[in-house]
Structure 1
Amino acid sequence: MSHQLEIIGAEAREGLHEHLRFIYGEDTATEVLPRLLRLIEHHLAGRAPATQRPMLRERLGPGDALLITYGDQISAPDMTPLRTLGEVLERQLGGLISGVHILPFYPYTSDDGFSVVDYAQIDPQLGSWGDIALLASRFRLMFDAVVNHISASSDWFQRFLRDEAPHHEYFIVVDPTTDLTQVTRPRALPLLTPFETPSGVKHVWTTFSADQIDLNFANSAVMLEMIDILLLYAAQGAEFIRLDAIGYLWKEIGTRCIHLPQTHRMVQLWRSVFDIVAPHVTLITETNVPHADNISYFGDGQNEAQLVYQFPLAPLTLNAFAAGDAGHLTRWAAGLEQRTTETSFFNFLASHDGIGVMPAAGILSQAEIGDLVERTLRHGGHVSYKNNADGSQSPYELNIAFFDALSDPNDTRENDTQKIDRFVAAQAIMLALAGLPGIYIHSLFGSPSDHSGVALTGRYRSINRKSGSETRSRRN
């Protein structure tokens, strides 16, 4: 380990050790640290570790904005979708956007990319790493790191199903008689899914669906695998890495299994690794939860995520237009503060997911949230629910195109100009707030709700995920 000591300074090394000690205990930390240092050295590839990190305010300015899109949103003959995307964006939006959040572009089996088969490969139907490199030469890229779960068809899980080491410990097996009522459920689906293995039926933790198998980060080998993947993304051109569903990462039976201290410390560990290998990379946490929980991922303002999603903005903006009263939105915005020069918000009104209503809890009353639910249904949308610990259900998100959420598509009393003006006004609010704006590609087009997509997939979220590729629709 002497060579590693020379490469990585004592202070950085001790910081890594302290993170590992907090998460795994002293014995495991001492055993794992040399492996982590070797992994870091591998990704440094002969470069010296970074001694300074560029300030966030130096990396982001008032002219920065990201477009959020799927890799197959735009297609053309004789060109891969990723290459087509780059060509069209440079031609049509050059100078207007500085970056692109390409939603998961890895091989997958469901959930429009969020059930990843192989973290290190590009879906061949989208293109190649060469196409990503070309995009990265033109735009600042955000990659998704779907860290909480992996596809049931992945090599890792298939090895688990064969009881093969070391993958037999990569996933979380729970006795189905265990009391799991305290666990926070973002879906109205079973938490455990049974699978046949040579050693018998195993009930495996599946937070989001039976095809999305939660990874066991209590196993330090999984942690090291994920750091390897994250550093690969940085090497392939990611300037922003979105930590999908990060709040659910650590499980501890008897707790809510969300926002646990080990989860925060894991993000801090990853931040420390990036500060050594790729300090230009910005971590952004995706936690569709009440505001106080959301901003907790800033840590102390220096040691955790640099960006968090501004989830309350969409429901509060919708409430302002629906009620004809911007009071809630104005008071909430007035109370926002940038904790440090090293943190900021990722502002958005629409994305590939629905409009989350949980972040508005405590700001809007239950009656006002109920009004948004009713409005969504009147305007032709759907509502997704989550299971509560007491057996009840609560609305989780509104599934509707934001254009239709603002204006009733069936209301013939308004002309298109009025509806467009309302939509543009909402976007102007988002763009005026401090932080990095993210514009969903369907907002760029003013797309209506895709009811045929819902009918085809049977999933409400498809209403806002219309693709330029029929292949993705069929696959889901």
Structure 2
Amino acid sequence: MKRSLLNVRKASLAGEYSRNIHKNTLTVGMQALEKQIQSILSSLYPPEEAGKAAGLLVRWIDEARSLSPNRIPDPGWSSRDIVLVTYADTLSRKGQYPLQTLSEFLMSRCEDIVSTIHVLPFFPYSSDDGFAVEDFSSVNPPLGSWRHIERLSQNFRIMADLVLNHVSSRSGWFASYLKGEEGFQNLAIEVSPQADLSRIVRPRETSLLTPFVKADGTRVHLWTTFGPDQVDLNYQSPDVLLKMMDVLFLYLRHGISMFRLDAVAYLWKCSGSAGIHLKETHALIKLIRLIVTAVRKDAILVTETNVPHEENIQYFGDGEDEAHLVYNFTLPPLLLHAFIYGDTRTLSRWASTLRTLSGHTTFLNFTASHDGIGVRPLEGIVEPDELRRIIRRIRENGGKISYRRDFNGNRVPYELNITYIDALNGPETRNEADLARRFLASQSVPLILPGIPAVYIHSLLGSRNWLEGVRQRGIARAINREKLDMDEVNQATQCSDSFRFRVFQGLSKMLRTRREQPALDPQASCEVLKIDPRLFAVRRSCPQQTLLAVVNVTYQNWITSLPADGISQKGFCVLNKKTIDMNRVEIGPHEIFWIQPGCLEENSNEK
């Protein structure tokens, strides 16, 4: 195994790249940018080191601006923006690189329903399905190459993970740290086992500190937030920051323009603190925002912070200086709560509080991901008994529960490991048709809330719990990470008798329809309506359109009237192409309506 990253420059302040840029070689705009960068770095490092690092970063920005593909003005967001989340090798076909297979599937089955592909970590790794990265600069050879990523970026925006918090214990970087090589001496965070770490917020049950032995025989205890194979990086060293920023520039050069900042809330550590949401972490996010938007005006930062809502939205910063998007982590468990209880009141109260700080920020709305359904975001929203009922349902439906340790060392639930489809299964579900209808009803909610929807590939494909994978791998998260044969998937999603067909065709239709509704633009106004506890309803409005979206979260039929404010007494459902009498609407079990003013004839004439 190679001991260092092949294509990443060894950015050490003590090395050849430590020399500063002469001010007279910079444009006025770049000089101003350097001052902004230096101001941020000065809050983290001594003045001399901050100045040198700022000069180096500005030089890299200048180089990247001339090399980066597709430098276009920020086009803004619209209802056409939808993200598909997938591993590079979720789909495979014998004789093809998985990235080729993925590209073929996207072009043949998804080109008209999504705009962005989030390819989960595609680098060489040692564990955690890609999140213990061995080499940030390479595509894992069995998956394909950078050429495949670049080709994919010609048809879709590409979102990739910037795994900032940690590196694999088997990586070249960590091997260089253990040897004490120049530029790597401060890579990891060495902590005395006697240090007071009682206030540290933990997302796992594993020990926070892991012992390692250096090449000279010195025994050290290192900070490992997510487990012994994932060694936390020490951002108190500017060398570490520069190494990771060099990785960022590499991704920009390969056509990646949307960056998921993995586990970013834990980035900066110090004993005696909670080790999460520190001001230094926010400073680093501001720095990354400056860099990516200086290189590509259309670049997007997404923060991944699986925490309660009020903590989560801190990462919008002032609306202009941190994340463009934050994952809407409260939505998946709270939506599940609404469907299990058949009552949308808690969901509606929370949804009515959703606000962003500017036209340059919004939510990434999702229900399922490669991870489980986090339950920390429910803190302060649902009662403990309600969470216990949800957990019982998950276990009844074949799911697993992952835990963490709280401040007192108590074992508390952290996430629900189950496919979202199986999470929604219940005693009243009679058959697969019922389950598909219930699942599609749930998927309509992230499509109608303000923000950009993200759809996990196993949701699109109608995948069920992969219990065999859990048994084989001994990992609870494997339950929704099954590897599928491309040809079998194509056959199943085109066979009208299959569950995959019902889900794929139904969800594809909703996604396709959503992309044509101006009122579902992320910045269009949203009013959460309190029509009936069994219905979740919002009114979305923009100058071009008003849309009333309603979904029944129960197994029962309901007859009700719908508010006609902004809608005539007759409405037209853009999903089923039917005229709706707003005074008397019959809503079937898990039925979905997206209604705009007028009747079928009027809307046909407009077209």
Q: Taking structure 1 as the reference length, what is the TM-score of the superposition?
A: 0.94
Q: CA deviation at 1:337?
A: 1.5
Residue pairs, 1:285-304, within 5 angstroms: 285-304=303-322
1:422 to 2:443 alignment: no
Structure 1 position 345, deviation (Å): 0.5
With over 3 angstroms needed to count, the CA separation of the structure-2 counterparts of 1:413 and 1:71, relative to structure 1, is closer
Partner of 1:463: 479
Count of residue pairs brought into register by the alignment: 461
Q: Which amino acid aligns with 1:367?
A: D
For 2:420, which of 402, 409, 413 is the aligned residue?
A: 402
Match of 1:16 in 2: 37
Would you say the 8 A contact 2:335–2:442 is kept in 1? yes
**Structure of higher CA gyration radius:** 2
Q: Which residue number in structure 2 is paired with residue 454 of structure 1?
A: 470
Which one of the candidate residues 239, 260, 264 is aligned to 1:221? 239
Q: Partners in 1 of 2:105 and 2:429 — Cα distance? A: 36
Match of residue 473 from structure 1: none
Say if 1:4 and 1:38, in contact at 8 Å, map to a contact too: no
- Matched residue type, 1:15: Q
Identify the match of residue 180 of structure 1 among 192, 197, 200. Answer: 197
Structure 1, unaligned runs of 5 or more: 470-476
Post-superposition Cα deviations, 1:414-441, rounded to whole Å, max 9, x if no partner, equal: 1111111100000011111111101001
Amino acid at match of 2:441: A
1:445 aligned partner:
461
Deviates more, 1:267-276 or 1:344-353: 267-276
Verify the 8 A CA contact 1:234 1:281 in the aligned structure 2.
no
Amino acid corresponding to residue 465 of structure 2 in structure 1: S
Deviation for aligned residue 1:413: 5.8
Question: Which residue does the alignment assign to 1:44?
Answer: 65
Q: Secondary structure at the match of 1:385?
A: strand
| Between 334-343 and 241-250, the greater mean CA deviation after superposition | 334-343
Q: Percent of pairs identical after alignment?
A: 41
2:377 aligned partner: 359
Cα distance between partner residues in 2 of 1:412 and 1:367 = 22
Aligned residue in 2 for 1:254 = 272
d(CA) in 2 for partners of 1:404, 1:103: 23
Contact kept? 1:241, 1:282, Cα under 8 Å: yes
Question: Mind listing any 5+ residue stretches in structure 2 that lack a counterpart?
Answer: 1-21, 486-607
What is the CA distance between 1:241 and its match in structure 2? 0.4
Q: CA deviation at 1:163?
A: 2.2
Which secondary structure state, in structure 1, belongs to the residue aligned with residue 154 of structure 2? helix
TM-score relative to the length of structure 2: 0.74
Letter in 2 for 1:291: H
Q: Which has the higher contact order (CA 8 A, sep 6+)?
A: 1
Tell which deviates more after alignment, 336-345 or 272-281: 272-281
Structure-to-structure mapping, 1:61-210, within 5 angstroms: 61-197=78-214, 198-210=216-228
CA distance in 2, matches of 1:325, 1:14: 53
Spell out, residue by residue over 1:366-399, the C-alpha distance to the aligned partner (whole angstroms, 9 max, x if none).
Answer: 2212221111111111111111111112111001
**Cα 1:366–1:4 shift into 2, 3 Å:** farther
1:252 Cα deviation after fit: 1.1
**Aligned equivalent of 2:496:** none
Q: Which residue of 2 aligns with 1:472?
A: none
Q: How far apart, CA to CA, are the structure 2 residues paired with 1:90 and 1:313? A: 30
Match runs of 1:197-346 below 5 Å: 197=214, 198-346=216-364
Deviation at 1:89, TM superposition (A): 1.1
Inter-partner Cα distance in structure 1 for 2:402 and 2:239: 35
Counterparts of 2:155 and 2:100, CA distance in 1: 11
Does the 8 Å CA contact 1:193/1:206 hold for their aligned counterparts?
Answer: yes
> Aligned to 1:267, what secondary structure does the other structure show?
helix
Distance 1:59 1:80 in 2: 34
Measured in 2, the distance between the counterparts of 1:390 and 1:134 equals 50
One-letter code aligned to 1:101: H
Q: CA deviation at 1:32?
A: 2.3
- Structure 1 pair 413–256 and aligned structure 2 pair: CA distance change class (3 A): closer
Cα RMSD for the two superposed structures: 1.6
How far apart in 2 are the matches of 1:128 and 1:115? Answer: 19
Read off the aligned partner of 1:9 and give its amino acid letter: M
Greater helix content = 1
Alpha-carbon spacing, 1:75–1:212, altered in 2? closer, same or farther (3 Å): same
1:7 positional shift: 6.8
Query: 2:85 touches 2:369 (CA, 8 Å); kept in 1?
Result: yes
Contact 2:125 2:135 in 1 (8 A): yes
Give runs of ≥4 in structure 1 deviating > 4 Å. Answer: none
SS in 2 for 1:137: coil
Equivalent-residue separation in structure 1 for 2:420 and 2:195 (angstroms): 41
Are the equivalent residues in 2 in contact too, given 1:375–1:405 (CA < 8 A)? yes
How far apart are 1:4 and its partner, in Å? 4.2
Asked whether the 8 Å contact 2:211–2:222 carries over to 1, the reply is: yes
